[in-house]
Amino acid sequence: MIPAQFDYQVANTLEEAVALLAQDPDGAKVLAGGHSLIPAMKLRLAQPQLLVDIARIKSLAYIREEGDQILIGATTTHYEIESSELLRRMCPLLPECAASIGDVQVRNKGTIGGSLAHSDPAGDWPAAALALNAELVVLGSNGERVINADDFFVDLLTTALTPGEILREIRLTRPPTGFGQAYQKVPHPASGFAVAGVAVNLVLGADHACQSASVGITGVASKAYRAKGVEAALKAKQLDDQTIASAASHAGDGVDPNSDLFASGEYRCHLARIHTRRAIQTATERAG
Ligand SMILES: Cc1cc2nc3c(=O)[nH]c(=O)nc-3n(C[C@H](O)[C@H](O)[C@H](O)COP(=O)(O)OP(=O)(O)OC[C@H]3O[C@@H](n4cnc5c(N)ncnc54)[C@H](O)[C@@H]3O)c2cc1C
Residues 6+ apart with CB under 8 A from 179: 201, 202, 203, 287
Question: For residue 199, how far is the Cα from the chain centroid?
Answer: 10
Q: Which atom of ligand 1 is nearest to the CA of 32?
A: 30
| Cα separations in angstroms, 260 against 45, 153, 241, 251, 257 | 19, 21, 32, 20, 10
Query: How do beta strands 153-155 and 158-159 pair?
Result: antiparallel
Cα 194 from Cα 127, distance rounded (Å) = 10
Pocket mutation for ligand 1, best pick of 35, 59, 75, 112 (most atoms within 8 Å of C-beta): 35
Residues 6+ apart with CB under 8 A from 258: 121, 220, 221, 222, 265, 268
Dist. CA 124 → ligand 1 center (Å): 10
Q: Which atom of ligand 1 is nearest to the CA of 168?
A: 41
Cα 59 from Cα 66, distance rounded (Å) = 16
How many CA atoms are closer than 13 Å to the CA of 181, on its beta-carbon side? Answer: 27
Local confidence pLDDT in tens for the 288 residues of the chain: 799 999 999 999 999 999 999 999 999 999 999 999 999 999 999 999 999 999 999 999 999 999 999 999 999 999 999 999 999 999 999 999 999 999 999 999 999 999 999 999 999 999 999 999 999 999 999 999 999 999 999 999 999 999 999 999 999 999 999 999 999 999 999 999 999 999 999 999 999 999 999 999 999 999 999 999 999 999 999 999 999 999 999 999 999 999 999 999 999 999 999 999 999 999 999 997
**Do residues 84 and 179 touch, judged by C-beta distance below 8 A?**
no
Q: Does 169 contact ligand 1 (Cβ within 6 A)?
A: no
Residue minimizing CA distance to atom 47 of ligand 1: 30
Q: Does 218 contact ligand 1 (Cβ within 6 A)?
A: no
> For residue 236, what pLDDT is reported?
97
Dist. CA 58 → ligand 1 center (Å): 18
Dist. CA 194 → ligand 1 center (Å): 14
Residue minimizing CA distance to atom 43 of ligand 1: 166
User: 3-state class of 278 per DSSP?
Assistant: helix
Q: Does 33 contact ligand 1 (Cβ within 6 A)?
A: yes
The values of phi and psi at residue 217, to 5°, are -125, 135
**Do residues 221 and 120 touch, judged by C-beta distance below 8 A?**
no
Q: What ranges make up the beta strands (E) of the chain?
A: 7-10, 28-31, 50-53, 63-66, 69-73, 135-140, 143-148, 153-155, 158-159, 166-173, 179-187, 194-204, 210-218, 225-226
Q: What ranges make up the beta strands (E) of 67-148?
A: 69-73, 135-140, 143-148
Residue minimizing CA distance to atom 14 of ligand 1: 102
Q: Does 36 contact ligand 1 (Cβ within 6 A)?
A: yes
> For residue 1, what pLDDT is reported?
79
Q: Does 113 contact ligand 1 (Cβ within 6 A)?
A: yes
Cα 8 from Cα 130, distance rounded (Å) = 33
Q: Does 55 contact ligand 1 (Cβ within 6 A)?
A: no
Radius of gyration of the chain (CA): 19
Residues 6+ apart with CB under 8 A from 191: 102
User: 3-state class of 62 per DSSP?
Assistant: coil
Q: Which atom of ligand 1 is nearest to the CA of 167?
A: 42
**Do residues 74 and 115 touch, judged by C-beta distance below 8 A?**
no
